[in-house]
Structure 1
Amino acid sequence: MSKPNKLKKCLQVEIDAADPFKNDVLDRKANIEILTQFITSYEQSIVLCIDAGWGQGKTTFIKMWQQYLKNQDIPTIYFNAWESDYTDDALIALIGEIGLVIDNLSGEDKSKAKGFFSTIKNKIGYLTKDASSKEWLTIGSAIGSLISGGRIKVDKIAEFTANLGASLAKDQIEKYEKSKQVLFEFKQALSRLAECYCGDDDNKPLVIFIDELDRCRPNFAIEVLEKAKHLFNVDNIIFVLATDKTQLGHSIRAVYGQGLDVNGYLRRFIDFDYLLPSPVKSDFIVSLSKQLELDKYLNRNIFSDYPLIKILKDIINLYNLTLREQEAFCNILNIAVRTHFYIREDNCVTFLFLLNILKLKFPDLYKSLNRDNKSTFVSNVLENINAQYTANNTYYLEFLECMLLSVIRPASQFSYEETIDDYVRKYNLNDVKKQKLIHSFDMVKGFEITIQDLLTIKNAIEISSSFRLN
């Protein structure tokens, strides 16, 4: 049992080997079952892209899918491109990952796989980037030998270069013919190696997951795409890329120029796109609160009958926090409420939510909070809140807006009816919204907050941010 105030951090979702969906709070099972049926229905090699934005759970999704495939006896390989982009050649990194799983095989399959892998390693030298540079090193060495004591043997170099053109042309033709043969043998060995992983079942391809491609160096990301499509386009292999295509497009334009048609370029390498459905994020925040043992604290009511968890769900949905941003939010919240008991009070906790989110999403606005600009800061925050609202919003955060208004003009100094009228006119709010604001003012009477309260909350967030939960 954990100690009462023992700090925890948000952990990666644990993928249970026996039941990969045991901790699936985002309801991904149906997506994975459909995609599995899809990839096992193809006879040819394909490249499938799982497209989702930063922090939307791509890595957890494909690791959950990988375990599901393993439980169906479908062989898989996981390749983190970002962790491998320190290498000079993507092909070597990919082949290295394939070789690492040979020991998972047994019996005759393992013996045959080692033979095919040996053939692949023998052929790979002709297909890597270094291969083409070796002959130029030889040429450079030859020219260097014609330089003696700092004096250049001009006649010898002229004779050497006169024969170089014809020699290079012949070598290049021979090299092209050789590379075609080597590529054929490489693909053949690769396909046979995949068969060893798959056994005798034609409906069970080798599935290679490539993750974090959008975080790689632009040149490396492009090279991974090229190698996956051109060199690994063989029977029995399926590639699944987990990436943010928008960010990947930025990387590609960094290499080929801003005017490039990125979608057209990517269609050369990606056969199918699957846009990962947006999760129900409020379910995720509930799961995180339980993991950090904050659920009892968040399930209590404030303002008579309004639970904190409902406020938290609303504000997270209003600001559209990604899953990764929610983890960062909860780590700060966890430390703040356990180390600063004052901010647990009802008049502070909702502002802890708000300022924490502003720190993550609008850091310049968050930093602008200080004692000398309270009116400007509050006005900017109210404008920011209203900018998040859409016609279909059903979030009930009017009490938060009312409390912000009270920071500027305390209740003892103004008529709340007049304040609400001014606020409604400024943002052209409808009568339904106005009635909600009036009701909220009745709720928050006695829960006024001051600029000093906001600065105290900000200080708690900053102290919490200084903790490094690795």
Structure 2
Amino acid sequence: MDKLSLSKCQPIEIDADNPFKNDALNREANLTVLTQFITSFEQSIVLCIDGGWGQGKTTFIKMWQQYLKNQHIATIYFNAWESDYTDDALIALIGEISLSIKELEIQDKTKVEKLIAPICKYAANFAKAVAPSVANLSINAITGGLTNTDGLSKTLGALGESLVKEQIKKYEESRRTLSKFKEELSKLAQCYTGGDKQKPLVIFIDELDRCRPDFAIEVLEKAKHLFNVDNIIFVLATDKTQLGHSIRAVYGQGLDVNGYLRRFIDFDYLLPLKNISYIINLINKFSLGKYLLKKETHYIQPKSFLKNMVDKYNLTLREQETFCNIFNIIVRTKDDAWFGHYWVIFICIFLIILKLKFPDIYKNLEYNNNSDFFDETIKNIDSHCASDDKLSNYYLELLEFLFLFLKPLNSLRYIYNSNSLKERIEKNAKEFNSDENKIR
């Protein structure tokens, strides 16, 4: 028996010479325009690439990063989620800048390395204090064993005054060094850009929406307030809706999130959705096309059915990759005869999508709760039919027909049994309040 060879979707390989070589979504035009946009600013700006979970934000900005590198524009990539185990976002950001020096195409790297030292020194004034609080110290240690009330009160009062003075001193020092910190950052940006005002230093911040809420907020604050230096551009790749949930988790559900984010984000760019073309690219990549062509006719086309389901159920790019991972395993572990009827292909495709998008309905099938499965599935299919576009409902209604046909059998096993087809369809369609046109 031949060894079974399986694989799963891998991240898109970004070619160094041609970053758009493997671009299945035709992003080149988008990135060319965005590049013209950010290079038109001499001031610091924060641009947000806004896209939902699984819509390809990371691939988008990494493709853009390589494109900028090829234009000799310095870039730094910072994965916020991978760094949120730290206590201080500023330290993480500066650490990433320091680590990136070796990878940047800079003539005088020694000069840049010398600039990092004072930046780190000034940053220490803004870093979180690690001194223990009064609450964590034992009363005995603070008071030296005093038990007299007046003596204890005076000691605690003096200690409190000392702590307040210390904090005020630290605040004044941080205000004085803020301008010096930005001055050194400006010098650093000029080193990266070679003094060319049309070539900013671009810092990409990815996965912000997946961070701890407090860390995500801190990254925003540090990027906007401390790195507000000419010729430094921040590009955030995040799902603003999810980021909003994180912010509300800290500041309360009544917060105006959009108003809050406008304090930090200068411009938004909504990532264009091009989902349907991607699934075809994946089908070709996995060599799955032959399984979708076996029973193709003028009226029944499994590939068109798949595209329609991706559109109707709004599968993200990541969900499409997961779909292909599962479908690939099924077709390569089942005998070809198993796909002898196009209905089997339809059911297979739909059940995978149902598992991805509506796992609670799918679990009814796994738990042999078939009655609930059929009822909820038929209602789900019907809910995805567009009321104003009957043509786009063609495959959904075929699918609904199939499940109405199978419902009284309470199983998917009797797919080929066509006894009393008309009577059964009419009976079950009326049960779900289908009108006469749909029944026909």
> TM-score, normalization: structure 1?
0.83
8 A Cα contact 2:404 2:428, kept in partner: no
8 A Cα contact 1:210 1:239, kept in partner: yes
Is 2:422 the partner of 1:416?
yes
Query: What is the match of residue 377 of structure 1?
Result: 373
- Please list the CA deviations of residues 202-237 of structure 1 after superposition, one character each: whole Å capped at 9, or x if unmatched: 111111111111111111111111111111111111
Query: What is the match of residue 208 of structure 1?
Result: 203
Secondary structure at the aligned position of 1:301 is classed as coil
8 A Cα contact 1:343 1:352, kept in partner: no
1:264 to 253, 259, 271: 259
8 A Cα contact 1:81 1:216, kept in partner: yes
8 A Cα contact 2:405 2:424, kept in partner: no
C-alpha distance in 1 between matches for 2:63 and 2:227: 24
Query: What is the match of residue 356 of structure 2?
Result: 360
Residue 138 of structure 1: CA displacement? 12
Query: What is the match of residue 121 of structure 2?
Result: 122
C-alpha distance in 1 between matches for 2:201 and 2:431: 62
Query: What is the match of residue 147 of structure 1?
Result: 144
Residue 20 of structure 1: CA displacement? 0.8
Query: What is the match of residue 285 of structure 2?
Result: 291
Residue 287 of structure 1: CA displacement? 1.3
Is 2:400 the partner of 1:394?
no
Residue 176 of structure 1: CA displacement? 2.5
Residue 409 of structure 1: CA displacement? 5.2
Secondary structure at the aligned position of 1:8 is classed as coil
Residue 103 of structure 1: CA displacement? 2.1
Query: What is the match of residue 349 of structure 1?
Result: 345
For structure 1, which runs of at least 5 residues remain unmatched after alignment? 439-470
C-alpha distance in 2 between matches for 1:272 and 1:406: 52
8 A Cα contact 2:65 2:75, kept in partner: yes
**Which 10-residue stretch deviates more, 161-170 or 350-359?**
161-170
Query: What is the match of residue 110 of structure 1?
Result: 109
C-alpha distance in 2 between matches for 1:348 and 1:141: 71
Summarize the alignment of residues 109-188 of structure 1 with structure 2, pairs less than 5 Å apart.
Answer: 109-130=108-129, 133-134=130-131, 136=133, 144=141, 146-148=143-145, 152=147, 157-164=152-159, 166-188=161-183
8 A Cα contact 1:47 1:272, kept in partner: yes
C-alpha distance in 2 between matches for 1:424 and 1:138: 70
Query: What is the match of residue 76 of structure 2?
Result: 77
Query: What is the match of residue 240 of structure 1?
Result: 235
8 A Cα contact 2:50 2:239, kept in partner: yes
Query: What is the match of residue 443 of structure 1?
Result: none
Structure 2 vs 1, CA of residues 43 and 368 (structure 1 numbering), >3 Å: closer, same or farther? same
C-alpha distance in 1 between matches for 2:32 and 2:113: 32
C-alpha distance in 1 between matches for 2:49 and 2:9: 24
Q: Which residue identity does 1:113 align to in structure 2?
A: V
Secondary structure at the aligned position of 2:55 is classed as coil
Q: Which residue identity does 2:351 align to in structure 1?
A: L
C-alpha distance in 2 between matches for 1:139 and 1:286: 60
C-alpha distance in 1 between matches for 2:295 and 2:301: 4
Residue 424 of structure 1: CA displacement? 7.1
C-alpha distance in 2 between matches for 1:107 and 1:359: 50
C-alpha distance in 2 between matches for 1:28 and 1:106: 25
Structure 2 vs 1, CA of residues 369 and 122 (structure 1 numbering), >3 Å: closer, same or farther? same
Query: What is the match of residue 32 of structure 2?
Result: 33
- Please list the CA deviations of residues 160-194 of structure 1 after superposition, one character each: whole Å capped at 9, or x if unmatched: 34434554454444333211111111111111111
Residue 381 of structure 1: CA displacement? 1.4
Secondary structure at the aligned position of 2:108 is classed as helix
Secondary structure at the aligned position of 2:291 is classed as helix
**Which 10-residue stretch deviates more, 170-179 or 6-15?**
170-179
8 A Cα contact 1:147 1:153, kept in partner: no
Residue 353 of structure 1: CA displacement? 0.7
C-alpha distance in 2 between matches for 1:234 and 1:372: 62
For structure 2, which runs of at least 5 residues remain unmatched after alignment? 410-416
C-alpha distance in 2 between matches for 1:57 and 1:290: 19
Q: Which residue identity does 1:331 align to in structure 2?
A: N
8 A Cα contact 1:206 1:236, kept in partner: yes
Aligned residues: 427
Secondary structure at the aligned position of 2:131 is classed as helix
C-alpha distance in 2 between matches for 1:54 and 1:362: 16
**Which 10-residue stretch deviates more, 372-381 or 343-352?**
372-381
8 A Cα contact 1:218 1:251, kept in partner: yes
Q: Which residue identity does 1:381 align to in structure 2?
A: T
- Please list the CA deviations of residues 389-431 of structure 1 after superposition, one character each: whole Å capped at 9, or x if unmatched: 1123614313322222221357654252773586379455584
C-alpha distance in 2 between matches for 1:375 and 1:142: 67
Residue 253 of structure 1: CA displacement? 0.7
Secondary structure at the aligned position of 2:365 is classed as coil
Identity %: 54
Q: Which residue identity does 1:329 align to in structure 2?
A: F
- Please list the CA deviations of residues 333-372 of structure 1 after superposition, one character each: whole Å capped at 9, or x if unmatched: 1111111225423231211111111111111111112696
Query: Cα RMSD over matched residues?
Result: 2.8
Secondary structure at the aligned position of 2:204 is classed as strand
Secondary structure at the aligned position of 2:269 is classed as strand
8 A Cα contact 1:314 1:396, kept in partner: no
Structure 2 vs 1, CA of residues 426 and 168 (structure 1 numbering), >3 Å: closer, same or farther? closer
